[in-house]
Structure 1
């Protein structure tokens, strides 16, 4: 057989505290094994989709975008009675329509279906099934759970329902053999179901780590996730060390009697073809209010911006001399040439709201070099007086999104964000941005030490010996600290601690909300990106760099600064006495 096997069920570090594979490692391994393609199917999310897409294409590997969905037993809206059993289902984008449907499905799982996990149900799978290839899933799938309960008829009925949702050609019975008890029985029964329903089969390996000996580090990762000790025999764990990135030869050996199921990985790969138009701008259109200053019926946004600038310049300078006029004209020409008129109007609008509602706001950074920003009231530094360069902020020869960092009174920040939500269509069009906490050197040692049951004073000593240098690695700490190096060389337990910790170091640990970033659109964000929820806050699934530099959405920084709150209150107290 040619090198045609393709991994279609793969978890990266974005399967938080479950996947132990870095995307760069996955792609490099696929390249080394001469694989033409691979999929990314993280648990319930698409956090790493764009990073994987770009990394794979750079290496000449065809990326297949997807995720492993959690499927509710009944409705995704049912959220009572404690944690129910949820089923796993592998979803892959066959084309761009399928990719956009995946964005909507994972978004719905968080915004509508979240209950312990982000869940979809059959209703919404049916609504957004077009362009998606579905694999029946791992041992935790609905079909396999029914088979493990010795209920073939119910399993057949479940498979038939998924066949109806996705279509005969787009639903495959997924076969896995990780040397787990009863898994061979599941494989044989799944083949029987495929024959009864006229379906194809396909093999996967449910990749969670890179090599067999990474099993121990992955086991520790699961303990960190569940808060259990490695010594706990009743904890959740993977039964074997077979969930690694296997070669085609290894997969052929396991499934030597199922050549068609092996070949179907390649056929599915050939069918999956998603082309993302990255690095395009998708800026929202600004719509001036009829009661806005300088508004006139029929006025264009460029004209409106120019009128606001003229009005602001007269208010500040009393008269517009040649220097001011030429500087404004130059900046406005660049702003119009780069199509950022709406950007400036949007920022002006929410800062104007803040000022009118007595919420202190001040922009900082290279935007201070813009006279347009100054006369609009966005910044409060005169770039002419201080001879500041506009080109450091916006340059027609180096096209990139303007970046205005804006500090707001901490107590008023949420009011401004809510104003923007109301102005541009609510949570569907405006969201805060995700950020990821990572397992840095000191933190990963403490995490791993805890699940290894190493006495706290020992773990604490090791962690404190690691220098507090920003971004330091465990290897660098060993090189720099003689006492730490001595402990590592002479104590077997510390060697094991470092061996496991070094494999987990730098992995994503959790998702949270960016301190300042907000993304704004005038159409549903799910046309471009998936959304999630952190507590009650709607957030993006892509980070700020991806949103701005790759997807081309408008990002604004709304940083709540307590110092501004204190100053504001102090001024009010002074005025009241």
Structure 2
């Protein structure tokens, strides 16, 4: 078996018009290459992070969830893109990563996070920020502007918590003068030596196998709206694949031999890469809470006291009763109270009360904005959702009761899908994150 390499910067097909390979396939390819760690750092979000984390253990790989985010400074000047990785430690790192992603999506149509806000979330050794090839520091290095590169790095080190910033040395063996060249990677390594800033080795992965490079070219052409014959950036060749340790060592040797002054630079580069992978390897149960439903805090949804009692109160409130269309005295389906009590017993047994109250709170918030909202899917067959006005469809009269949606045998939260008018969708999503508070709400898709 080939010796694996801990890749810390990996985009999957969930990065639109950029990545190529699906996350589960990347895990399989990493395992075939002997890797014991694999990050997933998709553009602007934690897209398919959970699938990645679930797939890794069975393949003998430790997962490293992350995200590729745009950053701006205090004056809203763009600083390029960085790779943000969560550190292991009782879920604090993953929580900080979720908050960073949410913060990036609160700035407007194009996601970007303020550097000082990113520094806030990185406090307490929760996050590592990789200055990757598209951030301001490597771009200055690429231009051979050493003064600008040093100044830009200094600004990062002044703002970010100590130990949270790492330089990413990536080389795609591109021709000199183009992004991903040996010369640019060598200068990046030299900047690390000159400033004493930790550097790691990366291949800025976009696809699993070398033959997938052609698909990446098509993705670039679509994103940049250029003909294939006119493409020179960002991919000058087909080297951005999931390489094993042997291939990565060959690349690193070329980078080091081209100009490193430290005689042990090669071993140091591999050692710092492995050490960072160890710090960013998350435990699915301990760090992400997989298999254990997490309920929203009662205070966030304006609940004082026992969530179960509050759920009963709202479900039986007069306003909820007025919302429900009254049944005829001898209606054959006159079993709503019994059905509601049965569902409430199930919710109490599963300790899901805060979850249903949160969905109801989101629904009221959307309606308060004058936006139409309606539940869809199996959740429409819930008498409890109808009682809470989360759904406007009476499930008993329409024969829609579906036990699969909520039963005592469930181990995970039931999916509750809400449809809103298309035009104000982004507005309602931003309002939900704002109202439910940045420390507790995360936008995982858009």
Matched, 1:164 2:158: yes
Q: 242, 267, 285: which is aligned to 2:275?
A: 267
Quote the Cα distance in structure 2 between the aligned partners of 1:68 and 1:314.
49
Matched, 1:179 2:173: yes
Q: How does 1:84-163 map to 2 (within 5 A)?
A: 86-95=79-88, 96-112=91-107, 117-130=110-123, 131-138=126-133, 140-163=134-157
Closer/same/farther in 2, CA of residues 404 and 245 from structure 1, 3 Å limit: closer
The residue that corresponds to 1:59 in the other structure is: 59
Task: Give the TM-score normalised by structure 1.
Answer: 0.59
Q: 403, 409, 412: which is aligned to 1:397?
A: 409
Contact 1:40 1:52 in 2 (8 A): yes
SS at match of 1:255: helix
SS at match of 1:111: coil
Closer/same/farther in 2, CA of residues 386 and 196 from structure 1, 3 Å limit: closer
Quote the Cα distance in structure 2 between the aligned partners of 1:220 and 1:149.
27
The residue that corresponds to 1:34 in the other structure is: 34
Contact 1:126 1:165 in 2 (8 A): yes
Closer/same/farther in 2, CA of residues 253 and 309 from structure 1, 3 Å limit: same
Quote the Cα distance in structure 2 between the aligned partners of 1:89 and 1:426.
26
Give the C-alpha shift of residue 172 in structure 1: 2.5
Root-mean-square deviation (CA, aligned residues, Å) is 4.4
Larger Rg: 1
The residue that corresponds to 1:200 in the other structure is: 198
Quote the Cα distance in structure 1 between the aligned partners of 2:104 and 2:272.
29
Between stretches 23-32 and 215-224, larger displacement belongs to 215-224
Closer/same/farther in 2, CA of residues 156 and 372 from structure 1, 3 Å limit: closer
Give the C-alpha shift of residue 283 in structure 1: 5.0
Between stretches 167-176 and 350-359, larger displacement belongs to 350-359
The residue that corresponds to 2:261 in the other structure is: none
Give the C-alpha shift of residue 526 in structure 1: 5.5
Q: 428, 432, 440: which is aligned to 1:527?
A: 440
Quote the Cα distance in structure 2 between the aligned partners of 1:242 and 1:386.
57
SS at match of 2:163: helix
The residue that corresponds to 2:208 in the other structure is: 210
Q: 265, 282, 285: which is aligned to 2:295?
A: 282
The residue that corresponds to 1:190 in the other structure is: 188
The residue that corresponds to 1:255 in the other structure is: 252
Give the C-alpha shift of residue 211 in structure 1: 2.4
Closer/same/farther in 2, CA of residues 282 and 156 from structure 1, 3 Å limit: same
SS at match of 1:527: coil
Q: How does 1:402-413 map to 2 (within 5 A)?
A: none
Quote the Cα distance in structure 1 between the aligned partners of 2:395 and 2:111.
49
SS at match of 1:169: coil
Contact 2:87 2:279 in 1 (8 A): yes
Task: Give the TM-score normalised by structure 2.
Answer: 0.74
Contact 2:43 2:69 in 1 (8 A): yes
Contact 1:175 1:190 in 2 (8 A): yes
- Number of aligned positions between the proteins: 412
Contact 1:37 1:63 in 2 (8 A): yes
1:69-106 residue CA offsets vs partner (Å, 9 max, x unmatched): 3233x44646xxxxxx7523222111333333332333
The residue that corresponds to 1:337 in the other structure is: 349
Quote the Cα distance in structure 1 between the aligned partners of 2:368 and 2:82.
51
SS at match of 1:398: coil
Give the C-alpha shift of residue 339 in structure 1: 3.9
